[in-house]
């Protein structure tokens, strides 16, 4: 496992056996308040926590030799998720004109960028496993609130989300679940995860901390339903 701790000099990253042995420092930065995810076997993604007033940075850390590379920088409200194959980087940011968020996919092999049609925060998304060119995102109905991202992080506003699947090759979108239609409730979805077979998507509601599962469409048609995980 890989994890980050704070130090007097900034942030330090360690790799360690899950048995609690062989701890080794493999990364450090003067930056504080950073987030890491290990979604691809050969690349760990680290990014500065998104802010509307400070440009962010996204690094990749190679667990084979612990070399680092800067993938993105100098964008406000920047956060990112890497697909399991390690070739597609999903990221969200705020445009320079302010108040407008975009969701994009960077092909790390060709440097091509695909603009996805609906805005959300990258941390509200998760990549598929068997179909890792698909990404599932909880998309707020309204992100036109002033300082939306920071107000959401502070818990001052809740998001009313709809679950969408994006095809990152074509940029097209498919609605998977509208909670207001299925449950007559509004869900602020966080901690999204997809099982290894791409059969179920799990998420937790920010308000009630309830865990839910969505049965994903295997024929790429409509979602078949939802059920609470007890």
User: Tens of pLDDT along the chain (230 residues)?
Assistant: 999 999 898 999 999 998 877 899 999 999 989 999 999 999 999 999 999 888 999 999 999 999 999 999 999 999 999 999 999 999 999 987 666 889 999 999 999 999 999 999 999 999 999 988 999 999 999 888 788 898 999 999 999 999 999 999 888 999 999 999 999 899 999 999 999 999 999 999 998 999 999 999 875 444 444 443 33
pLDDT digits (tens, 9 = 90+) for 34-44: 999 999 999 99
Note whether residue 45 is domain-resident: yes
Note whether residue 61 is domain-resident: yes
Note whether residue 26 is domain-resident: no
pLDDT at 144: 82
Note whether residue 2 is domain-resident: no
Maximum Cα–Cα distance across the chain: 52
pLDDT at 119: 93
List the beta strands (DSSP E) in the chain.
Answer: 2-7, 10-15, 24-29, 34-40, 43-48, 56-61, 68-75, 79-82, 88-94, 101-107, 113-115, 125-127, 134-140, 161-167, 173-177, 189-194, 200-205, 211-215, 225-228
Determine the Cα–Cα distance for residues 45 and 18; give it in Å rounded to an integer: 19
Domain span at residue 96 reads 33-228
Contact between 176 and 214 under an 8 Å Cβ cutoff? The reply is: yes
Q: Which residues have CB under 8 Å from 221's CB, separation 6+?
A: none
Contact between 81 and 45 under an 8 Å Cβ cutoff? The reply is: yes
pLDDT at 98: 64
Note whether residue 11 is domain-resident: no
pLDDT at 230: 31
Note whether residue 80 is domain-resident: yes
Which CATH number characterizes residue 135's domain? 2.130.10.10
Report the chain's terminal Cα–Cα distance, integer Å.
Answer: 28
Helix (H, G, I), strand (E, B) or coil at 87: coil
Number of domains in the chain: 1
Tokens of 158: 């809740």
Note whether residue 23 is domain-resident: no
Helix (H, G, I), strand (E, B) or coil at 148: helix
What is the helix (H) or strand (E) element at residue 179, kind and residue range? Answer: helix 179-182
Specify which residues 173 forms β-bridges with.
166
Residues in the chain: 230
Note whether residue 5 is domain-resident: no
pTM: 0.90
**R_g of the chain, CA atoms, integer Å:** 18
pLDDT at 59: 96
**Cβ–Cβ contacts within 10 Å for residue 124, how many?**
25
């Amino acid at each position: 496992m890989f994890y980050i701790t704070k130090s007097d000099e900034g942030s330090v990253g360690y790799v360690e056996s899950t048995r609690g042995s062989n701890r080794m420092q493999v990364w450090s930065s003067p930056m504080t308040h950073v987030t890491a995810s290990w979604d691809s076997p050969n690349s760990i993604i680290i990014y500065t926590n998104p802010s509307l007033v400070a440009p962010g940075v996204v690094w990749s850390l190679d667990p084979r030799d612990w070399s680092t590379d800067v993938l993105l920088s100098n964008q406000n409200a920047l956060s990112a998720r890497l697909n399991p194959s390690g070739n597609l980087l999903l990221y969200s940011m705020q445009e320079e004109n302010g108040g407008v968020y975009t969701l994009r996919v960077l092909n790390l092999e060709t440097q091509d960028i695909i603009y996805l049609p609906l805005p959300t925060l990258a941390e509200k998304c998760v990549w598929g496993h068997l179909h890792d060119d698909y990404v599932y995102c909880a998309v707020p109905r309204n992100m036109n609130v002033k300082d939306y991202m920071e107000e959401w992080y502070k818990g001052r506003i809740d998001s009313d989300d709809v679950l969408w699947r994006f095809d990152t090759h074509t940029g097209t979108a498919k609605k998977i679940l509208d909670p207001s239609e299925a449950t007559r409730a509004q869900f602020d979805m966080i901690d999204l995860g997809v099982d290894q077979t791409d059969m179920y998507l799990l998420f937790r509601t920010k308000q009630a901390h309830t865990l839910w599962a969505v049965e994903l469409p295997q024929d790429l048609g409509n979602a078949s339903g939802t059920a609470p995980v007890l």
